[in-house]
């Protein structure tokens, strides 16, 4: 159903999506990017990057008291990651749906983790959990000049 009042109140958001080192090592970069691309979101930033420990710790600072935190930092810094900034109305929640549950064994088939992973500690991809964190994480992972403003030609075929 068409809900014009709802559409008008929906805001363009940004989500920080990151292919973790296992996704890169397993050759899943194209497959994972493709899912966001095909859905119709707009890519604004993209780079391959081997992240320093300090940045990984800042990114996951809310989890610093968890028992798995040291292993998580080792994992994220164990090889290059693919950093991405994606934009769109509702992109934050939608990307979380495309990614699937944190534990890949509980993630639905059809989701990235549901299709491509078996363990929480090797769950191939990160996605921001709120629009605020989307902004925070993109600012953390990208420097000025690394993001591109553009209008994909497909836009009028995606939104009326
Ligand atoms: N993680 C882990 N063990 C756990 C929970 C989380 O290794 O018991 C890792 C996993 O890589 C996860 C990340 O920490 O993706 C961040 O956890 P969060 O709960 O934010 O999950 P996400 O938002 O990535 O689904
Ligand atoms: Mg999270």
160 residues of the chain, pLDDT tens digit each: 454 544 555 689 999 999 999 999 999 999 999 999 999 999 999 999 999 999 999 999 999 999 999 999 999 999 999 999 999 999 999 999 999 999 999 999 999 999 999 999 999 999 999 999 999 999 999 999 999 999 999 999 999 9
Does the Cβ of 121 fall within 6 Å of ligand 1?
yes
Catalytic residue among 5, 50, 59, 126: 126
**What is the tally of helices (H) and strands (E) in the chain?**
9, 4
Give 113-152 as a DSSP string.
Answer: HHHH--BTTB--EEE-SSHHHHHHHHHHH--TTS------
- Between CA 142 and CA 115 the distance in angstroms is 29
pTM for the whole thing?
0.94
At how many degrees (to 10) do helices 91-99 and 131-141 cross? 80
Q: Does the ipTM exceed 0.85?
A: yes
Q: Which atom from ligand 1 is nearest to the alpha carbon of 122?
A: 11
Does the Cβ of 111 fall within 6 Å of ligand 1?
no
Q: Is 126 a catalytic residue?
A: yes
- Between CA 48 and CA 51 the distance in angstroms is 9
């Amino acid at each position: 159903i068409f809900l014009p009042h709802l559409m008008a109140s929906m805001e363009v958001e940004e989500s920080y999506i990151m292919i973790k080192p296992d996704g890169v090592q397993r050759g899943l970069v194209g497959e994972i990017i493709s899912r966001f691309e095909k859905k119709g979101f707009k890519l604004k930033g993209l780079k391959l990057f081997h992240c320093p420990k300090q940045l990984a710790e800042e990114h996951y600072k809310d989890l610093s008291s968890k028992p798995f935190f040291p292993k998580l930092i080792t994992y994220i810094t164990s090889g290059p990651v693919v950093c991405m900034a994606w934009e769109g109305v509702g992109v934050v929640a939608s990307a979380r749906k495309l990614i699937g549950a944190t534990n890949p064994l509980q993630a639905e088939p059809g989701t990235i983790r549901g299709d491509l992973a078996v363990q929480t500690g090797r769950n191939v991809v990160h996605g921001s959990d709120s629009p605020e964190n989307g902004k925070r994480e993109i600012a953390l992972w990208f420097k000025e000049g690394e993001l591109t403003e553009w209008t994909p030609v497909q836009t009028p075929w995606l939104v009326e």
